[in-house]
Structure 1
């Protein structure tokens, strides 16, 4: 039986190749994902470990928790703390570290790095082992700076060049005193690093003689744990906390691994979809192979082979196919992993250097996936073949599925579909994250139910295409009949396309609806023509608001600054605004009261008001971050949204209580409205600062929706793999159909149907099956998009369902194209059948 199984594997080379290819694509996706994420994660972890090589113990300020009405804060690490750390017996040296956002512009004035990856810090001199100098000398004063070698190479800078740098708003133009190398993870990932002398860094980053961290190096013979104990004894525990360099490296490595797990899981989901779709193809292929050998298997049964042996022989074939596909898929996956890494580099998202990582787990996963998926898909056809009585199989009289089995299948499918739809509809009435798990469960149940019901749905939906097929004459009529001849096989093939198009359509509906709602929100809530903010999302310097207000053509402006406070024992963030101008810059819906921000009058969003039980006219006591209290009155309650929410009060009342006033953004209204000339004028007034963004409403909307667009593009790219696998499925189904109808095709040729008509018949059959899957996928995708939108839209008053008719038409056209392309080989094969040989075939 083993030798027979091996011979059968090689007896149908074309089918074998398609099956191996279907499994290989899925395995390649899985192994490529694991290789890519393991490689990136390992590179970052090695880079972070190198970054902590010179740190035995790090001393950091301990956050002071909120107590009573006092707002929590982080104390300064002063020079006195640094001196104490340096005098500990086991300390060889202690270095005070100052850091903050520092944007470096290239020679065209554009920001280098990814905004949040643009960092600055202090340089301790030529003995600073953290940053070895490649060329030049240590910086001195505000007019000199060091930049990292990668940034210098990307921008073409050399020692002695003048560079534009922005630190919290003001633009500096220092001279590059030197260039250094670093293993800092942000730099190796495409960011930038600028270093000033310590006094200048403290001044620029607002530390005023203090440090963000103190790095202590141990003397020879002193371990990190021993040094940590000495520091704990010498330094005030209530103000500082100490961490060993090894612990910092381990924590960062774990953080990197955790952040990479999200990407890994997302990619593996799509790999699973490709494998799920591939399972249908494998099952179809083995059904075809078993059908071709029905008499052979019956003869084996007649000469003494048991049912178990027949099933086992089919599973042996599946094992061989799965093993071959697993090995080839692993090799292809390694290439995919390397290609994805190179692709990141070509897109400018560079990653730390490091080798390609192929773990034993990746190899095991690839082989296991290939073998297990193939054997599971082949088990049912093998079991079905073993149950056919030998005499019935040898006389080709084995019966079609019984009415009872079809009724049972349709009943199960209806129950699953009804349960899934009910759970999804119920989930839409829940709030936020509470409805996510039920909706996911409902989606799985509904997809399973529709898949089980697909044979039943195929007849009426394909029958709807009959009027169009009549225009193709006899070939069209035969194509319609052939497509419903074996509903189960047609359903399995259509389901492959259905699943892919369901996901694509659902994501497209969601993205389009969210984009529309964000556009409406921006236009409805904001009257300002522009919003000014930092590229990395950090706070702006107060000077920015002053420069904006003094710019020609600006009729109204308001900075928005955030400050923590304590209200009724809870921490709440206050938003300071220009009370006289905020009404001209926003267009918020007022639920109650009069929109007025002045003195002790404030306006509050509806969620915050509800949580405290406030209404228009309510009074409450606020404790500012400096501990002082004031009685405020709610002048109005407004409808908050993702752009504007919280407690707004006049900056004149808030700023005196802030230790370090800074604005998150500045809203601007101009006389001429939004235009390229006005935008240029604002940017020039701010010194053409590379770190500052000047955005109009559309820019603001696009930046918020950018994440959705990125995810959608990733979905389109990743699901292309599932579409390729689906094409193989259609080819297999048509090849099976041609094989089963060899005698029928021969008879049609004998009575006058020419080769062109035969090709047309097969192509139309493929087109009908593909469009059937496309219609089901688009329909389910719209339903899922609506349901997910209802869940998200509960917190977005401007949410509106948008059906992307043009894109859905493209998706349907894509399904039809898949059908036409998949039919090329089977149609050619059917047309080339020998008439006499086909008539004599059984």
Structure 2
């Protein structure tokens, strides 16, 4: 039986090609993901290890979770502590680090670097006058205000050189700086495309902390002193609000953090690989079902000469094992190539240098997944073949599904569909929604043969316009409902996910647009790039501009209320009512004009059991206590929520006076000219964004669009596999019906008619899968939206009809493209040979 199975694989290798391709693509996705993420993670960890090479023990601010002192972060480290750390037994040197955000503009006035990695720090020279962390490549270190050093990668990207004067911003105002040096660094933030700007220590403290204050103290051990021993000595001198950590532990913790971060990426990519493999199951099952159907007489003969049912099933599984093994090996090799290709395509400044890593998990997973998926999909056709009585198989009466089997299938499908829909409708969290979606998807798949007849019949009037080929195409599409169902389901799954994500993304964008329109009366929102802190000078400058009628800086400060941490939001009591619009259930913004009065969003008030007039004790950021009274309760949203207090009350208690954003209203409203005028007043600072409501909407749309495009790209693999499934089904169907096609040719249907018949059949099956997928996607989008609506009051289902029409067109294109080769093959069949075919 083993030899027979191998011969069958070799005899049907052309028909198994699409199955091999489908499995290979899924396996390649899995192995490629594992290779790339492991390579990326290894490179980042190696770079991280280099960054801690000069750190034996790091002293950092520390605050216990049960610390009931001042709210907010632990206080920064002092110069006195730095001096003491440098003198502990076993310490060779101590370096004080000052860190913050610094934005550099290139020669065209655009920001250099990307993301949250535009960092600033200090150059801390040791006894030899050099900072071992930042070896200078050219020039000298910054020594006074107005001088900076930049990393070599930033200098290369922006075309900077020693002696250039560049524009720099920390919290808003533009500060001209002279580049005195260019240095090299292994820090991951730079290798990932960010920038690092160095100042002399005094200037860095003035910009980022306070004079004489550090974010971290790095201590180098003397020869013969271990990291643990040095840490023990440092622990003796550290105050309660500081802690020491060995460099090894810091490196290990960062490596673990990197690994966890990559695990999230890996899990997401593997989920899409799983979808592609799941879609591939339909192709494999279809392929083996058709192969078994074409070999029923052969299998019956084997049974007649003594083969048992188990041996027949085993022979089919052996074929599946061989096909799966070949596909798995090919997929593993392709995946390694994909991993290497992704590494090569990554920008040199986004990924540290490192070797290509092929983890054992990639090899084991690829082989296991490829073989198991194929054998699992082939098991049911093999079992069904073994159940066919030899005499019935030889008389070809096996092909008709019994009424009982159809009733059982439809009953199970109806129950699963009903249960899945019910769970999805009443779901209160993501997990229950996922369970409901899974049950519904499986239920619809089980019911697909039943659904295929009425839905495909609905296309009858259109098909009849194509004459006899159209009529035959409609009949062929429903001749074997189970096969049609399996073929259409592969495409259905991909379009379900694509449509559902699109519906959710579109609805969220519209909700945020509505929220901005309903909540903001301000013409502009001024923020720092990446939502970092703004200098209070910005609000003061804007308030003095001609045409500006109202300005309010929004500040945030940590506090402690009833033992819990809460952020207080400072606003300008006189103007906030003209800049924002919220619905008050009790009270109004007017309450803020009275000192020690606040307005609170409804969810915060509910959690603390407050109502208008309630009084509560607050511990401010500086540790001082006060008493505040609730003057109003409003309906919060994602743009405006929390405890609002007048800036006159909050500002005296803030340790670092900064703004989160500034709201601005002008007498002329939002216009290009007004925006240009405001930007000019702020020095045309590229780090500051002056946004109107349309800008906010476009930014959100861009983020959602980018996310959807990434998801579309990942789901494209499942759609490609579905296309292979349609091609495979049609190709094998043509082989199965070659005698019939020969007869059609003999009675007058020309080659063009044959091609049209096959193409229309493919088109109908693809559109059937597309309609089901879009319908399910809309339903899932609605169900997920019901959960989103509980936390986003402005959310409502918005169907992107243009995108939906495009997805339906995509399904039609899939049908047309998938039919090209099978239709050509059918048209080229020799008429007489086809008629004589058995």
TM (norm. structure 2) is: 0.97
Please state if 1:728 is matched with 2:694: no
Q: Secondary structure at the match of 2:479?
A: coil
- State the 1:69 CA deviation: 7.9
Q: For residue 440 of structure 1, what is the aligned residue in structure 2? A: 434
Hey, what does 1:10 align to over in structure 2?
Answer: 10
Per-residue CA deviation, residues 211-242 of structure 1 (Å, 9 max, x unaligned), is 11000111111111111111112323x12101
Q: Is the 8 A contact 1:598 1:649 kept in 2?
A: no
- Alpha-carbon distance between aligned partners in 2 of 1:178 and 1:676, rounded to the nearest angstrom: 39
CA distance in 2, matches of 1:82, 1:408: 78
Greater CA drift, 32-41 or 688-697: 688-697
Contact 1:122 1:196 in 2 (8 A): yes
**Residue 499 (structure 1) shift:** 0.2
Alignment-derived partner of residue 598 in structure 1: 593
Match of 1:575?
569
| Residue among 529, 554, 560 paired with 1:560 | 554
Name whichever of 351-360 and 595-604 sits farther off: 595-604
- Tell me the SS of whatever aligns to 1:164: strand
- Alignment of 1:688 onto 2:688: no
Q: Contact 2:88–2:234 at 8 Å: present in 1 too?
A: yes
Q: Hey, what's the Cα distance between the residues in 2 that align with 1:121 and 1:71? A: 26
Tell me which residue corresponds to 2:107: 107
Contact 1:518 1:705 in 2 (8 A): no
After superposition, the C-alpha distances for 1:726-748 in whole angstroms (9 at most, x for unaligned) are 11111121123222322222222
Which stretch of structure 1 is more off in the superposition, 785-794 or 657-666?
A: 657-666
Query: Per-residue CA shift, 1:272-314, capped at 9, x if unaligned?
Result: 1100111111111122222222222222222222222222222
Q: Does 1:640 align with 2:636?
A: yes
- Structure 2 matches for 1:285-684, cutoff 5 A? 285-345=287-347, 350-427=350-427, 430=428, 435-596=429-590, 597-600=592-595, 601-684=597-680
Question: Root-mean-square deviation (CA), in Å?
Answer: 1.6
Contact 1:556 1:669 in 2 (8 A): yes
Q: Give distance in 2, aligned partners of 1:706 and 1:246.
A: 41
- Whole-angstrom distance in 2 between the partners of 1:320 and 1:254: 39
When structure 1 is superposed on structure 2, of 389-398 and 179-188 the one drifting more is 389-398
Partner residue in 2 for 1:272: 274
Equivalent residue for 1:153, pick from 131, 153, 156:
156
1:539: how far off? 1.4
- Indicate if the aligned counterparts of 2:15 and 2:732 stay in contact, CA closer than 8 A: no
Aligned counterpart for 1:201 among listed residues 199, 204, 210: 204
Q: Do the aligned partners of residues 67 and 390 (structure 1) sit closer, same or farther apart at CA in structure 2, a change above 3 Å counting?
A: closer
| Number of the residue aligned with 1:764 | 760
Which of the numbers 827, 833, 836 marks the counterpart of 2:823?
827
Secondary structure of 1:790's aligned partner: helix
Q: Is the 8 A contact 1:69 1:567 kept in 2?
A: no
Q: Where does residue 128 of structure 1 map in the other structure?
A: 131
SS class of match (2:612): coil
Whether 1:234 aligns to 2:237 is yes
Post-superposition offset of 1:786:
0.4
**Which residue of structure 2 aligns with residue 254 of structure 1?**
256
CA contact (8 A) 1:520 1:798 kept: yes
The range that moved more, 165-174 or 664-673, is: 165-174
Distance in 2 (alpha carbons) for counterparts of 1:393 and 1:762: 28
Shift of 1:706: 4.3
Deviations 1:592-612 (A, max 9, x none): 223312132322111111122
Cα distance, 1:292–1:355 mapped onto 2, change above 3 Å: same
Q: Which moved more, 1:496-505 or 1:559-568?
A: 559-568
User: Does 2:742 match 1:739?
Assistant: no
Q: CA deviation at 1:530?
A: 1.0
Q: Which deviates the most, 59-68 or 215-224?
A: 59-68
Aligned residue number for residue 245 of structure 2: 243
CA distance in 1, matches of 2:26, 2:438: 20
Aligned position for 2:85: 85
What does residue 52 of structure 1 align with?
52
The whole-number CA distance in structure 1 between the counterparts of 2:449 and 2:81 is 76
Q: Which residue pairs with 2:223 in the alignment?
A: 220
Partner of 1:715: 711
Unaligned runs of 5+ in 1: none
Is contact 2:190-2:349 (8 Å) kept? no
How far is 1:399 from its partner? 4.6
Is the CA contact 2:35–2:335 (under 8 Å) kept in the aligned structure 1? yes
Verify the 8 A CA contact 2:559 2:619 in the aligned structure 1. yes
Normalization by structure 1: what TM-score? 0.96
2:98 touches 2:209 (CA, 8 Å); kept in 1?
no
Please list every run of 5 or more consecutive structure 2 residues that lacks an aligned counterpart in the other structure. none
Distance 1:366 1:656 in 2: 62
Question: Match of 2:245, SS?
Answer: strand
SS in 1 for 2:413: helix
- Is contact 1:115-1:535 (8 Å) kept? no
Secondary structure in 2 matching 1:15 = coil
Match of 1:283 in 2: 285
Answer with 569-578 or 135-144: which moved more. Answer: 569-578
- The question of whether the paired residues in 2 share the 8 Å contact of 1:58 and 1:213 is answered with yes
**Cα pair 2:293 2:399 within 8 Å, conserved:** no
3-state SS in 1 of match to 2:16 = helix
Secondary structure (helix, strand or coil) at the match of 1:145 reads: strand
| Alpha-carbon distance between aligned partners in 1 of 2:136 and 2:410, rounded to the nearest angstrom | 74
